[in-house]
Amino acid sequence: MKKYPLFPSQLGVFLECLTYPDTTQYNLPYHVKIDLCEDADALVDAWKRLICATPTLRIRFEMDGEGNPRQWPEEDMPIDIPVKDMREAEAADYVQGGFVRPFDLLSGEPLFRIEIIKTETQINLLMDFHHLLVKG
């Protein structure tokens, strides 16, 4: 599998994230509220197909033997999009304080999170992408 150097526009963000691993400064979270009548499983399937078709969303990073960062799209990336049932207040707390977390660039985990929270009145589509995937 061919691995590529980072673009100059990516390198500064990458190094800053390694220096400050607990930061969420480069997280790009989104919250979309959807009518409860929509099918959460169909939403999960659509996102999985989109991720499989978009190499940029499957980017992985590693340090090569000389200490230089490299990137490549992971062909067989496992994609987990949980669907959770919560009460309205619990969902609001989770959206405000639990969903957005730092990404570990070298862990091998995807650099995005997508979750679906079903409440009594709506479906909450939560998405969080690392800046390096969508703005690099």
Identify the sign of the CA torsion 89, 95, 121, 114. negative
Number of residues in the chain: 136
Strands (E), 1-136: 4-5, 27-35, 59-63, 69-73, 83-85, 112-118, 122-130
Which has the higher per-residue pLDDT, 6 or 37? 6
pLDDT digits (tens, 9 = 90+) for 10-25: 999 999 999 999 999 9
Tokens of 101: 């977390």
3-state secondary structure of 56: helix
CATH number of the domain encompassing residue 116: 3.30.559.10
Q: How confident is the model at residue 119 (pLDDT cuts 50, 70, 90)?
A: very high
Residue 11: burial class (beta carbons within 10 Å; 0-12, 13-18, 19+)? middle
Residue 53: the pLDDT is: 95
pLDDT at 37 over 90: no
Q: How confident is the model at residue 88 (pLDDT cuts 50, 70, 90)?
A: very high
**Pairing status of strand 83-85 against strand 112-118:** parallel
Q: Is the pTM of this model over 0.95?
A: no
Name the residue range of residue 82's domain. 4-134
H/E run at residue 124:
strand 122-130
Q: How many domains does the chain have?
A: 1
Angle ∠(101,16,3) on CA atoms, nearest 5: 90
